């Protein structure tokens, strides 16, 4: 177990009425390195066979599956007609079921049971039936996804808030470059029901042109919790 701390100054807020230097501290206490090693292959991505067993159609296609770096989503490559990766929120996963143990999938005997598993979403509204290249690869995915579910169940309110903010950020990051510019931040902040003046917002970005998702989480928390900043926004 290890404690990691990182500090840096994100931006400065300046107006005749006030001057605020904003610094953020990131603390990750008790990082479990064994858990990190377990999730590394999932974040790097693995080719899995996706088996569709709906009444309308049956298809077997190899796709690249990966867990996002922020551990919020399971993403996989789309079909040729689609441009963006498809994704499933880890929080929406109800169960990771080993073997071919869902309706119709269990009858597809050509796929080895020990290399197969299913990702079942809440209420069983959607099921991903998957086949790995080997029993070992399947176990890596099953154990890794189960570990992610356990981590989500243990997080506190503050961490859940950060997940929500990051989720909003990722949806706003349409080009997928991991950062948002001033115009994108303004649009997003308003969607999140935070009052902000355009001219004042420009002063915030005097020392930085973009924010990544972690910076945006702290920025959002800062502007929504400081009474003096909220007072300026309301003028």
What's the whole-number mean pLDDT along residues 19-33? 34
**pLDDT tens-place string over residues 112-150:** 999 999 999 987 678 999 999 999 999 999 999 999 988
- Report the 3 state secondary structure along 47-101: EEEEEEECCCCEEEEEEEEEECCCCCEEEECCCCCCCCCEEEEHHHEEEEEECCC
- The pLDDT, as a whole number, for residue 118 is 95
* pLDDT at 47 exceeding the cut of 90: yes
Residue pointed to by tokens 């506190």:
156
Whole-number average pLDDT of the chain: 75
Tell me the domains of the chain and their CATH numbers: 38-154 (2.30.29.30), 156-233 (1.10.238.10)
The band of 67, judged by pLDDT with boundaries at 50, 70 and 90, is very high
Question: Residue 163 has what pLDDT?
Answer: 79
Q: What is the pLDDT of residue 200?
A: 67
What band does 20 get if pLDDT is binned at 50, 70 and 90?
very low
What is the C-alpha separation between 54 and 47, in angstroms, rounded?
Answer: 22
How does pLDDT run across 69-93, given as a tens digit for each residue? 878 889 998 876 666 788 888 888 9
Percent of the chain residues past pLDDT 70, beyond the cut: 72
Parallel, antiparallel, or unpaired: how do β-strands 116-121 and 127-131 relate? antiparallel
- Stated pTM of the model: 0.62
């Amino acid at each position: 177990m290890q404690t990691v701390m990182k500090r840096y100054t994100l931006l400065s807020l300046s107006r005749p009425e006030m001057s605020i230097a904003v610094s953020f501290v990131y603390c990750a206490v008790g990082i479990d390195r064994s858990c990190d090693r377990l999730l590394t292959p999932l974040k790097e991505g693995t080719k899995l066979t996706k088996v569709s067993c709906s009444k309308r159609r049956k298809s077997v296609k190899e796709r690249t599956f990966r867990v996002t770096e922020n551990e919020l989503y399971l993403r996989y490559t789309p079909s040729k007609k689609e441009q963006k990766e498809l994704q499933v929120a880890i929080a929406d996963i109800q169960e990771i079921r080993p073997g071919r143990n869902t309706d119709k999938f269990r009858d597809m005997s050509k796929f080895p049971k020990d290399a197969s598993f299913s990702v079942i979403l809440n209420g069983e509204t959607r099921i991903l039936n998957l086949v790995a290249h080997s029993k070992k690869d399947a176990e890596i995915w099953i154990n890794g996804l189960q570990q992610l579910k356990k981590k989500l169940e243990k997080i506190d309110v503050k961490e859940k808030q950060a997940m929500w903010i990051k989720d909003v950020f990722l949806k706003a990051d349409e080009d997928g470059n991991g950062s948002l510019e001033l115009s994108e931040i303004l649009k997003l902040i308003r969607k999140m029901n935070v009052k902000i003046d355009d001219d004042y917002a420009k002063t915030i970005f005097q020392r930085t042109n973009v924010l990544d998702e972690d910076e945006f989480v702290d920025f959002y928390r800062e502007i929504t919790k400081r009474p003096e900043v909220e007072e300026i926004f309301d003028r």
